Amino acid sequence: DNPFEEGEQFILELVLPGLPDTMAIRCEVVWARKKGEEPGQASGMGVKFVEIAAEDEQTLKNYISP
């Protein structure tokens, strides 16, 4: 209901089912919508990865497109 503000950065701790390790990925908010801000639209935010370890990037790519 209360997403971060556009431009804010944070560390996303991502755990993928079936994999033992947690990935720590620096993200930046590229859009954010608070509850009730736009009628008929859910609250939320879109993020982009701004820093990810090469090993984690490869693991994520392999996980999404085996």
Q: What is the pLDDT of residues 30-53, one digit of tens each?
A: 999 888 777 888 889 999 999 999
> What does pTM read for this prediction?
0.80
Say how far apart CA 36 and CA 60 lie, in whole Å: 33
Residue of 38 and 61 predicted with greater confidence: 61
Say how far apart CA 51 and CA 5 lie, in whole Å: 19
Assess contact for 31 and 57: CB atoms under 8 A. no
